[in-house]
Amino acid sequence: MMTKIKIGIGIAVVALIAAALLWLKSATKGDYVDFGAEDAIEVTPTQIQSMKAIGEWEFLSVSAEELVDTVRKGLFKDDELVRIYYGTLRLGLNMHQVEPGWIIVQGDTVTMTLPKIGLLDKDFIDEGRTKSFYESGSWKPEDREVLYKKAYRQMLAHGLTPENLQAAEANASQQLRNMMQSMGYANVKITFKE
Amino acid sequence: MKRIIALVIVVILVIAGLFCCDWHLQSNDEDGKDTLYQAVDTLPMLIMQVQKCSKLYTAEYRVHKIITHDDALRLKGSFLQRQFNIKMPLADRKIAIPMDAKLKAYIDFTQFSEKNIERQGDKITILLPDPQVTMTSSKIDQKNVRQYVALTRAQFSDAELSSYQQQGRASIIESIPRMGILEQAQANAAKVLVPMLAEMGYKEENITIAFRRSYGPKDIQSLLKIED
């Protein structure tokens, strides 16, 4: 008799445990635990600081990627920061620099005296596109500013070359000649100021 | 006897292998040092692309934005169908990155031809191609970057900072349609071309600078020329 009671209690306990496990499984279905931080940024509204009319005529664009690095010597190991900067040097004419009488028409002949071809804008690096390539050690914003200046100098040295300035001048002549000829002027003379 | 000889050969091979391995490791270290010293100086430029064009930039906008990121560590999840989101104590990281950018609108004259010009006696009409907008530069104001990092957390890495800056740049690009830069570009194009045509002998009242149509915020998505 006692044995049957024990068996009955055992079966009841097992059934209860099974029921509890089934309930727990259904109650925790879809549960999850995550530990970490979010990557998304918040931004303030874009503020327009200034707007102005310009007259920059670009005839050659030089897009550059520069890999720039800096090394800090340490006692046991060196720290290194390597970044890739992107920028576009725009070469052409600033039409606000033309002088009165820069374009003269005589019959079917147009004579244009243009300002010197140069870099249209000194701000040419798109730092927002910068990619981090390698970092060891801890670096401050001032170090990144130094790297930016280094990339700036490199892009100028590689992009603002006499060859590129000549190519921009040649293309300016060709484009403006085409434009004047499409306006009906057969002879177009173009000179650039020294 | 054969077993002893085989055992000796195996031991010799193992010792020789270890020596070789050690020598190779040392050799790699030396190579690594060489590479490191070469890398100290500026690395070479990756790519340079030169392209001929004929673009008249007529409007320039300077914009400013502050990118912020609150990097608090959180324990999130759900238990028994109940959501929880607990901020971990002493694990805050915050950063604010001021960013300036320059946007310019231009008219591309590359395909300009006699089809764009109509002349009737003393009157001239120039039909210009659609204006386009590009971001010509952006700059992080490194001096005014502010960051607060709790003792239990690591500093922001350069890769994280670059990612936030790229998101900030994308956010500026998203806000371009609300700036009215295309309308400015159209109006300013006349300011450059009318004096040029006047110098050529046309009276200002006889000059018309026209576009295919007026452009609104809806058009700007197709007229944005932003490099990735």
Say which amino acid occupies B180. G
Burial of B23 (0-12, 13-18, 19+ CB in 10 A): exposed
d(CA B99, CA A129): 12
- Span A126-157, pLDDT tens digits: 999 999 999 999 899 999 999 999 999 999 99
- DSSP-based three-state secondary structure for B90: coil
d(CA A19, CA A26): 11
Question: Which two structure tokens, joined as six digits, stand for A82?
Answer: 């390597």
Give A121's strand partners: none
The nearest alpha carbon in chain B to A174 belongs to B54
Average pLDDT of span B115-127: 90
**What global pTM score does this model have?**
0.77
User: What is the number of CB-based contacts under 8 A between chain A and chain B?
Assistant: 279
Is the model's pLDDT at A188 over the cut of 80?
yes
**A47 domain-assigned:** no
d(CA B35, CA B38): 5
d(CA B190, CA B185): 9
Q: How many domains does chain A have?
A: 1
**A44 domain-assigned:** no
Average pLDDT of span B144-167: 92
- Span B88-101, pLDDT tens digits: 888 889 999 999 99
Q: Express as a percent the part of chain B with pLDDT over 90.
A: 42
ipTM: 0.81
**A71 domain-assigned:** yes
Question: Other C-beta atoms within 10 Å of A86: how many?
Answer: 23
Give the pLDDT confidence score for residue A139 in this predicted structure.
Answer: 93
**A22 domain-assigned:** no
Mutate to test the interface with A, among B29, B37, B57, B160 (most CBs of A within 10 A): B57
The nearest alpha carbon in chain B to A157 belongs to B45
Report residue A30 CA to chain centroid gap.
Answer: 41
**A97 domain-assigned:** yes
d(CA B204, CA B1): 114
- Cβ separation of B157 and A132 shorter than 8 Å? yes
**A11 domain-assigned:** no
**A23 domain-assigned:** no
- Cβ separation of B54 and A43 shorter than 8 Å? no
Minimal CA separation from A16 to chain B, in Å: 20
Is the model's pLDDT at B64 over the cut of 80?
yes
- Cβ separation of A125 and B53 shorter than 8 Å? no
**A16 domain-assigned:** no
Range of the domain at A137: 54-192
Element (H, E) at A149: helix A141-159
- DSSP-based three-state secondary structure for B9: helix
- Span B2-31, pLDDT tens digits: 666 766 676 666 655 544 443 433 333 334
d(CA A121, CA B88): 48
